[in-house]
Structure 1
């Protein structure tokens, strides 16, 4: 893969999960890669270990010198998460060729057979499942993912040397209308709930964005759409591709005999080309069974056998921070999840309830974005009420400035849990030691993940103490 006249690539926001996958792709293709991010993270440390030069200062003189001598030979990839007043962004806009991450992903995948997975939630787990099932069935797969897969310990999967047609799996991100820059041969729509209203303005506009994405799918390809998403978008989608509905209770591709057990969900797959019984999915959750349904349908369409499907489902280990089980020792359960939308929270907590119906459920939630908290306050309160105990942290602002009157406290009144409390992030460990939760779930898309290693280590230590 080459970009004419480009000899180096610089990433403005290189630590983002989508940006880092592209950075890894360019590094694999032989380009010198450098970048900037606001703060170091385990992911940026990995990128540096892979040979990328990363600065954490928003200054022009922080760039490697050889990226400044011939601006016309440097491609700068940036993300809208970078503030408009960034020194580096304004410098690059004046002197360099800039392209958004979505533009570059569209350029890379344009000449490949592309399977694009869209949805306001579910797309990371689903795209990772699709990639894993195809790869475990021996198909040549490249995948640009929005999370770190446990099987491959990366957000980039490469096909290796092959003369076969490479299948590219990508997340089709609706934020900033990025998915409209892709060229999908096949597409999945996992959900179409209102989100990113700071970008779209209202629910009707985001739904039209999804309809625009659907119209991009090649007429010789397929569109897989989840039942509720189809209901929300309407039957008349003007899709050129063959349309297939899926869902737990769909009349199309669906599951039967779903059984929830601690750490595992069993189910039967029922589809137009295959029926596969007794599947064992080791990433629990009713929503993950639904994600698996469409991944199986795609793999079957590309020639995977029932035996390969069975093994692929059994061996899939999920994505970091997507219903990631850290501890089940001595009945002390700890699960971490990226959920940051009311529907995601509902799906996760409903599944935890099914797995551990007799144990007390505690959730620690960090809201993400002031606008999202404001727009969906009632939904957040309702979903969090599925827990016995709710611990709220302050809102993680990400790219936003504070909004007057919008705080985590505004969710408290609507939460119907038996116990609810608002604390600071640095008080979490002390609170856990006092409360001794039975089943603990941490949730959020901000920096709550920085707490996860410490909580997991504490859970392990108290299980050991109990044994002694």
Structure 2
């Protein structure tokens, strides 16, 4: 498919984090972009403000009339239902209809492509890497699965020759990519509704790793049994972060590379997992040839990602953090970072489980992760693309938790319940629509201060 012959791009599910990055990209290179989504959100509002037409009704009469099969590419999200009227209209009228991952594969095929894979850490690692390359003057476009605070966007740059992409294991999407340099940050079991077993996920990651023929260009953690360049914190590795300390709520650390020791790097994102993400991005940038000074400067100026340990309120008496964590490993990482930064303070976690299947597959691990917090407020499961499963409820999950102080709450009662707590650290966690409530929670807490 030749993208130069495409004048119009239409998205079904334009408000998704990965879809909206593509929408911004196509608009930036001069295509006419429009699309459909089920519900308005902060992201769709931002896209509309940028000049992209979006509607929220599944209605073929709302598709621009000049969009025809010869000049229009249609991009769909995997979550779109089979009975969707607009999708079926495009299929019946011979439009080019492709999944987001296929389109990313086409865009990146003729570029020097960095691909960041892993069940956790993809968004943070790819955004740090995109920021390093962009700040160093590289001709880069980075497609990010989150809003990067430095750019207030999930797209960094509009370069033509270098791309950075998240290599998403969901639906085996990452097998559409053509990476030159890649990393794998983690290989935990997830998406078992797609894969069935953790062995099937691992096999898929191995297939992705095989796309990198020169293993000097594949970066891994020391837990993985895949051939590649090992990166580690405080352990022997080809790229090793060591002498790690915290100064003014930021990490300062040194890095041993194959040919030098880089001293006193500054990095502001809390949590050991983020230190590892920064090290992976550094290793890839160094291997590509980015100057050390440019890497150090970019690490220091990186401000993080919206909904990734994102400070909403930061005062001496009250801290409110919002995080997208939706897997037990990610919740553990949030807990570790909070305890490291705020020892001996009472922490309340508000969690919205994401997907019935994920809640079912990891119920015991979720219960263990959440039980570490002093208080937990649990919302109903956010279904996303799924139908309810018998017996899989938030009450069932709550009953597995060992906290004394735990409670099931509705969205309606959430803010009064938060305001009634005596916790000084408040954390909202989850990948559902809890993120849409963050501004309201923040406002209510500010009024209480």
**TM-score, normalised by the number of residues in structure 1:** 0.92
| Alpha-carbon offset, residue 218 of structure 1 | 4.2
1:204 corresponds to? 199
Q: Distance in 1 between matches of 2:397 and 2:240?
A: 35
CA contact (8 A) 2:249 2:268 kept: yes
1:45 aligns with 2:63: no
Q: Of 248, 251, 272, which aligns to 2:233?
A: 248
**Equivalence map 1:360-379=2 (5 Å):** 360-379=346-365
Give the conservation status (yes or no) of the 8 Å contact 1:345–1:384.
Answer: yes
Aligned to 1:319: 305
Which residue number in structure 2 is paired with residue 216 of structure 1?
Answer: 211
Q: 1:221 to 1:88 in 2, by over 3 A?
A: farther
Which residue matches 1:122? Answer: 121
* Distance (whole Å) between structure 2 residues aligned to residue 159 and residue 264 of structure 1: 30
Contact 1:262 1:356 (C-alpha < 8 Å) held by counterparts: no
C-alpha contact (below 8 Å) 1:21/1:156 kept by paired residues: yes
Note the alpha carbon deviations across 1:373-418, whole angstroms, 9 max, x for none: 0000011011112211111100000000000100111222332223
Compare 4-13 and 357-366 and name the one that shifted more.
Answer: 4-13
Q: Match of 1:466?
A: none
Equivalent position of 2:6 in the other structure? 6
Comparing 40-49 with 402-411, greater Cα deviation is found at: 40-49
SS at structure 2 position matched to 1:194: coil
Match of 1:195 in 2: 190
CA contact (8 A) 2:12 2:77 kept: yes
CA distance in 2, matches of 1:461, 1:278: 40
Give 1:109-258 correspondences, 5 Å limit.
Answer: 109-159=108-158, 166-219=161-214, 222-228=217-223, 230=224, 234-235=225-226, 237=227, 243-252=228-237, 253-258=239-244
**Counterparts of 1:127 and 1:21 in 2: how far apart (Å)?**
13
Q: Note the residue ranges of structure 2 that are not aligned, 5 or more in a row.
A: none
Q: Secondary structure at the match of 1:191?
A: coil
* Contact preservation (8 Å) 1:262, 1:355: no
Helix, strand or coil: the match of 1:179? helix
Contact 2:251 2:270 in 1 (8 A): yes
Query: C-alpha separation between the residues in 2 aligned to 1:260 and 1:417?
Result: 30
- CA 1:51–1:278 in 2, change beyond 3 Å: closer, same or farther? same
- Which 10-residue stretch deviates more, 58-67 or 437-446? 58-67
For 2:410, the equivalent position in structure 1 comes to 424
Residue 435 (1) aligns with residue 429 (2): no
Correspondence for 1:329 among 302, 315, 336: 315
| Aligned counterparts of 2:46 and 2:205: Cα–Cα separation in 1 | 34
Match of 1:410 among 391, 396, 400: 396
Question: Relative to 1, partners in 2 of residues 1:21 and 1:250: Cα closer, same or farther, differing over 3 Å?
Answer: same
2:256 pairs with 1:270: yes
Distance in 2, matches of 1:261 and 1:35, equals 46
Q: Deviations over 1:305-362 (max 9, x none)?
A: 3332222111100110011112221221111110000000011111111111110111
Partners of 1:411 and 1:263 in 2: how far apart?
34
Distance 2:313 2:266 in 1: 20
Distance 1:286 1:221 in 2: 25
Q: Number of aligned pairs? A: 447
Contact 2:134/2:156, CA 8 A, preserved across alignment: no
Taking structure 1 as reference, are residues 103 and 364 closer, same or farther at Cα in structure 2, changes over 3 Å only?
A: same
Displacement of 1:212 in angstroms is: 0.6
Quote the offset at 1:277 in angstroms: 2.4
Seen in structure 2, the aligned counterparts of structure 1 residues 269 and 416 have a Cα distance that, compared at 3 Å, is farther
Find the aligned partners of 1:189 and 1:300 in 2 and give their Cα distance. Answer: 17
Q: Within 1, Cα distance between the matches of 2:3 and 2:314?
A: 49
Task: State the shift of 1:4 in Å.
Answer: 5.3
Is the Cα–Cα contact under 8 Å of residues 184 and 218 in structure 1 kept in the other structure?
no
Per-residue deviation at 1:264? Answer: 2.0
Q: 1:89 aligns with which of 77, 87, 90?
A: 87
Stretch deviating more after TM superposition (430-439 or 364-373): 430-439
Mapped partners of 1:273, 1:368: distance in 2: 44
Partners of 2:216 and 2:242 lie apart in 1 by: 27
Q: Is the 8 A contact 2:25 2:158 kept in 1?
A: no
CA distance in 2, matches of 1:74, 1:429: 45
Give, in angstroms, the shift of residue 159 of structure 1.
4.3
Shift, 1:223, TM fit: 0.3
